[in-house]
Amino acid sequence: MSRLHVVSGKGGTGKTTVAAALALALATEGRRTLLVEVEGRQGIAQLFETEALPYEERKIAVAPGGGEVYALAIDAERALLDYLQMFYKLGGAGRALKKLGAIDFATTIAPGLRDVLLTGKACEAVRRKDRRGRFAYDAVVMDAPPTGRITRFLNVNDEVAGLAKIGPIHNQAQAVMRVLKSPETAVHLVSLLEEMPTQETVDGVAELRGAGLPVGAVMINMTRPTVLDNGDVDFAANGARPAIAEALCRAGLDGARHGGPAARLIDPLLSQAREHAERVALERDQRAELARLGLPTYELELLPEGVDLAGLFRLARDLREQGPL
């Protein structure tokens, strides 16, 4: 069973919402999960209706069954200070470097180092144990960068190859990659039943597999109910005006065939039915395209009023009901 769940997806697919719902779902039955943010957007704090996340791990929710969700916003600058203290014992010198702007300079000229710091902090949480030798967290969920950047972000070993062949940075990257490429990790991709998100998901899976990174599941977000079954969809798409007029007449609505009040209802209804039929047909094609990836698939419904805290718990429940995560 995976312990590090990396959640990515094309912008606009709701990956942060899915990551938050997944963290809640994994925290049921007394389990502890850590939800990690690496992009500095404070999206997690907004979803859980809490104040901005600090660099320290903080409890933000209690899941059904008494489980706990903690959260952490990883800051590359703070992570680098930790790193300098851990490996070089710089202490106050590290803080002086921060004041001089050296840390910003280092992470700007060496973006691979930034990724090592961000992923390294999450991987440290995965490996961490308490005094009794038990893992501090049963699962860690990372709200990761979008699909277009996820492979490069996770493949930190290649990113730092030009920075250091030996030494602490190299060793840290190797330790991170051992976690990221292990069965402990699963990279989940969030998609919508639309052409562009689907194609980006397909491309993302291919890139992840090519890099030897473990792909988890496809999370289809914001699904809408199908009002018509397949036969009704085809019927609506191919024009059903005469049949509807006849049905209205049999129901006793006068003028359904000859321009009366009932007849004026038919065209707007048919227009809506055709739009629905087109959407259903498109979603059917996209669902089939995603199914060809051969990955576990979870579906989360569109919440018309937006995602508030109650909606987040509802999405978590839906995930749990669809099988093991």
Distance between CA atoms of 18 and 218, rounded to whole angstroms? 11
239 class by beta-carbon count within 10 Å (0-12 exposed, 13-18 middle, 19+ buried)? exposed
217: phi > 0 → left, psi -120 to 50 → alpha, else beta; which? Answer: beta
Q: State yes or no: pLDDT of 157 exceeds 60.
A: yes
Q: Is the pLDDT of residue 254 over 50?
A: yes
Distances (CA, A) of 314 to 126, 220, 310, 322: 26, 15, 6, 13
Token pair recorded at residue 96: 């002086």
pLDDT over 80 (residue 30): yes
Residue 171 reports pLDDT greater than 60: yes
Q: Tell me how far apart the alpha carbons of residues 274 and 237 are, in angstroms, rounded to a whole number.
A: 5
Is residue 309 over pLDDT 90?
yes
pLDDT on residue 166: 57
Q: How many angstroms separate the CA atoms of 281 and 127, rounded?
A: 45
Q: What is the DSSP string of 22-77?
A: HHHHHT-TT-EEEEEE-SS--HHHHHTT-SPP-SS-EEEEE-TTS-EEEEEE--HH
Q: Which tens digits make up the pLDDT trace of 37-68? A: 998 888 999 999 999 998 889 999 999 989 99
Percent share of the chain, pLDDT over 90 = 53
In the chain, which ranges are continuous DSSP H helix?
Answer: 15-26, 43-47, 76-88, 92-100, 102-109, 111-127, 147-154, 156-159, 168-180, 195-210, 230-237, 241-250, 263-291, 309-321
AA identity, residue 243:
A
Share of the chain above pLDDT 70, in %: 73
Which of the four pLDDT bands, split at 50, 70 and 90, describes residue 256? very low
Nearest to 180 by CA among 129, 115, 134: 115
The strand pair at 215-223 and 185-191 is best described as parallel
Least confident of 44-48, 74-78, 221-225: 74-78
Mean pLDDT of the chain: 83
Residue 135 CA to residue 159 CA, distance in Å, equals: 29
Residue 148 predicted with pLDDT over 80 = yes
Mean pLDDT of 256-276: 64
Give me the CATH code for the 4-224+302-321 domain, please.
3.40.50.300
Q: What does the pLDDT average to over 107-121?
A: 71
The mean per-residue pLDDT over the stretch 110-139 comes to: 86
Question: 118 falls in which pLDDT band (50, 70, 90)?
Answer: confident
Tokens 């990551």, residue located:
19
Q: Would the pLDDT of 121 be above 60?
A: yes
Cα gap 283→281, rounded to integer Å: 5
The set of residues, in sequence order, having a beta carbon less than 8 Å from that of 138 and lying 6+ positions away, is 3, 26, 27, 31, 32, 33
Q: What is the model's pLDDT at position 23?
A: 98
